[in-house]
Amino acid sequence: MNRHLGRLLVLLAGLAVAGKLAADEPAATSFPRTRISEDERDHWSFRRLNPGRVPAAGKSRWGRNPIDRFILARLDENGLVPSGRASRRILVRRAHFSLLGVPPSPEVIGQHETDRSPSAWSDLVDRMLASPHYGQRWARHWMDVARFAESGGFEHDDDRPTAFHYRDFLVAAFNRDMPFDRFVAWQLAGDELAPKDPLALMATGFLGAGVFPSQLTEAEFESSRYDELDDMVTTTGVAFLGLSIGCARCHDHKYDPIPSQDYYRLASAFTTTIRGEVTTRAPWHSTDQKVLVTSEGLPKLKHHADSRGFPHFYQQTFFLARGDVHQKHGAADTGYLQVLVRPGTSTSHWQVKPPADRKRTSFRRASLARWMTDTERGAGHLLARVIVNRLWHHHFGRGLVASPNDFGTQGEHPTHPKLLDWLAQRLLDCGWRLKPIHRLLLTSSVYCQNGRADGNRQDRDLENRFWSHRPRRRLEAEAIRDALLSVSGRLDSGMYGPGSLDENSRRRSVFLKVKRSRLVPTMMLFDWPEHLVSIGRRANTTTAAQALAFMNSPVGRGYAGSLAERLPADPGRAIVRAWQLALGRTPRADEQAAVMVFLERQEHIYRRAGRSDPIRTARVDLCQALLGMNEFIYVD
C-alpha cells in the first residue's frame, strides 16, 4: 500500500516537472537536464544567417564581385589596399590546383594567355568546373572530414573491401554538383530517403567508416557499441556542423551549450544503425556490386566475437552518467541539439513517418537529416556556414573561420562574418549547389591577387587576416603526387573502383586505398591524416624525410625518368620543354645557363665513373632536381 502510494507520488511529481518542459522532452529520467540560455544561443555561429547588404562599390576600381566588396570594406577600415592581379599563367596554375588538384598542361596555359575574350577567365573556370578532375579533388577533401578508410583498425585491421563505393559516391556527387543538403542527408540516411538510388546507398558509408575493434570480450560488448555510437555522433557533429558534440559524452560540454542529454538524444538516432552490405549498381558499373552501407535491419556482418554472442547493437540507447555503461539513467529518445532548435519547435516537427511498405529501418536518421538541413528551424544555417567556409579554406589556405572543424565558442571567430553569412545565404539561394560558390570565389579579385606582400601589408596584415595579398601555398600530399604523375606523363585518369596500396599505381591519389595499419608512406610524409578522426585542416610540415623521398625514392626517381623521356633530344629545347611541363613556364636565362653547366658536369662525373648512359642519367638527374624545386610544390 505504502509502496503504491510512493510510486504514485513519484509519478505525479514527474508529471508536474514534465509539464513545465517542452512537450517533446524525453520520458522521466534521472539524467540531469540542462537548459540553454538566451546568451548561449547568441554565439555567432548559432545565430540565423544575417548577410546584411553587400557593401557599396566605393571608388576603388578593384573588385569584380560582391565578395570583393566585403573584402575591400575591411581592407579600407584597416588602411590597407589590395594587391594587383596575378599573371594569367599564375592564375591558371593556381586555379587548376585548388579546383582540380592537377597542374594545367602547357597548352591550357598557352590558350588562356592568348584568349582575348573579356570572359576568358570565367570561361576557363567553367571549363574546370566541368572537368571530372574536380570531383576527384574535392572528394578527397571530404574524405579527411569523414575520417574515411577501408579497414576497421584495431587488432586485425580487417579490410572493408566494399567500402570504396563511398569514395566513389563522393567523386560522383561533387562532379554532378549534387545539392549539398542532399549530399548531407544521404550520408546520414540515404537508405531511408532514396532507397532505390544506388548513390544514396553508397553515401551511407559515411556513418560506418569509423574504427571498430575486431576482438571483443563480453565485458566490452556494450561499451564498444557506445564507442561506435560516439564515433557516429562525433563525426556527424564535426563534419557537418563544426561542433565538438563528442565532448558531451561524459558531462555537459565545458564550453559550448551542448548538454550531455543532447548528446545521448542525438546518439539515439543511431541506436539500431550498423554496417551491412547491399547489392546495387552504380550508373558507371555494368554489373551489380556489393556495397558497404550503414543502415538498419540488415544481416549483421561477420565479427570475430559473434561466437561469444556479440549483439552488434542494443535496442535502446541510454543516458549514461560519465559515459559509463554501468550508470544508466533511462532510455534516450531521439532529439537534437537544443541550441540549434528554434525555441518552440518540437522534435516531432522533423519526424519522417516511414512509408507503410518500409519497416526495415526506423527513419530516425531520416528525421535527423531533416533537422540538419532545415534552415528555418533546425541546423541548416550552421550547416551552410560550415561548408562555404570549407570551400574558402581550401581555395585560400585558411578559412574565413580559421578552425573549419570548430565553430563553437573555443573556435576562431570569422574574420569576415558578414561575408561568411552572405556566402552561406548565396549557397541556399543557389539550391545548395557548390559549383556556383566555387565560381564566385574563383572569379573574385581577392582570389586573383598576386602574392607580393610589401612593407605596408606586412606591418598591418602580418597574418593576411584581411586578405591583402595571396601567400604561396604548399600542395597537399595528393596534389604533389598527382602533379608528379601528371608531369611525368604517367597519370591514368580512370575513375572509380577499388583502390590500391601500391605507390606505383598511376591513378590519382584519391584512389589510393586507405588501410589504417598500412597508410601509404609517401602520403604520410606530406601530412596525410591518420584517417581515425575528422580532420578539417591538415598540418603542414617541412622535414628532411620529405627531402629524402624526393632524392632517393625509387618511385620519385621513376617520375623523373618518365619526364626525361618526354623531352626532345636537343638539350636547349629539352630544358625549355621540361620547365613548361613541370612549372608551366619557360626557363629564365640564368636558369638555362646553370642547367647547361650542370648537365656537362654530371655527364663528366658519370663518364669518369664508367656509367653506361651518362647523358640520359644526367637528364634524369636534372628532371629530378626540377621536381624537387620549391616552385613545383608551392603554388603562387
Partner 1 sequence: MEPATNDCKAAAMLSRRHILARAGAGFGVVGLSGLLHSEGLLGPEARAASGLGQRGLAPLAPQQTHFPARARQVIWIFVNGGPSQVDTWDFKPGLVRRDGMSIKTFDPKFDNTTGFFRNSVGNLMASPFPFHARGECGKRISSIFPHLGNHVDRMAFVHSVHTESNNHSPALFMMNCGMPRMGLPCVGSWVTYGLGSSSQDLPAFVVMSDPKGRGLPKGHAANWSAGFLPGVFQGTHLRPQGAPINNLKRPRLMTDLSQRNQLNLLRQLNTLGNGPLSVSGELASRIQSFELAYRMQSAAPEALAIETETRQVQGLYGIGDKRCDHFARQCLVARRLVERGVRFVQLYSGGNENQRSWDGHSDIRGNHSQFAGETDRPVAGLLADLAQRGLLDETLVVWCGEFGRLPVAQTGKKPGRDHNPHCLTAWMAGGGIRGGTTYGASDDVGFRAAENRVHINDLHATILHLLGLDHELLTYSYNGRDFRLTDVAGRVIRDVIA
Other beta carbons within 10 Å of 47 = 14
Ramachandran angles phi, psi of 36, nearest 5°: -95, 130
- Residues 6 or more apart whose CB falls under 8 angstroms from that of 56 comprise 69
Compute the distance between CA of residue 156 and CA of residue 216 in angstroms, rounded to an integer: 12
Nearer to partner 1, 76 or 631 (CB): 631
- Residues 6 or more apart whose CB falls under 8 angstroms from that of 255 comprise 247, 408, 409, 410
Nearer to partner 1, 222 or 277 (CB): 222
Shortest distance (Å) from residue 332 CB to partner 1 = 22
Compute the distance between CA of residue 126 and CA of residue 128 in angstroms, rounded to an integer: 5
| CA proximity to 274, closest of 305, 221, 241, 311 | 311
Compute the distance between CA of residue 623 and CA of residue 256 in angstroms, rounded to an integer: 52
Buried b (16+ CB within 10 A) or exposed e, 458-497: eeebeebebbbbbeebbbbbbbbbbbbbbbbebbeeebbb
Shortest distance (Å) from residue 545 CB to partner 1 = 7
Nearer to partner 1, 218 or 570 (CB): 218
Shortest distance (Å) from residue 430 CB to partner 1 = 29
Shortest distance (Å) from residue 311 CB to partner 1 = 16
Nearer to partner 1, 299 or 309 (CB): 309
Torsion of CA 447, 449, 455, 461, to 10 degrees: -10
Shortest distance (Å) from residue 543 CB to partner 1 = 6
Element holding 199 (H helix, E strand): helix 198-203
3-class secondary structure, 290: strand
Nearer to partner 1, 37 or 410 (CB): 410
Shortest distance (Å) from residue 343 CB to partner 1 = 24
Residue 134, CA atoms < 13 Å, CB-side half-sphere: 22
Shortest distance (Å) from residue 567 CB to partner 1 = 16
Shortest distance (Å) from residue 41 CB to partner 1 = 18
Nearer to partner 1, 135 or 153 (CB): 153
Residues 510, 478 contacting (CB under 8 angstroms) = yes
Shortest distance (Å) from residue 599 CB to partner 1 = 9
Nearer to partner 1, 192 or 230 (CB): 230
Shortest distance (Å) from residue 349 CB to partner 1 = 28
Residues shown for the chain: 636
Nearer to partner 1, 356 or 462 (CB): 462
Q: DSSP per residue over 304-343, as a string?
A: TTGGGT--SS-S--EEEGGG-TTSEEEEPPP---GGGS-T
Nearer to partner 1, 2 or 542 (CB): 542
Nearer to partner 1, 190 or 529 (CB): 529
Residues 100, 137 contacting (CB under 8 angstroms) = yes
Is the C-alpha dihedral spanning 288, 289, 295, 296 positive or negative? positive
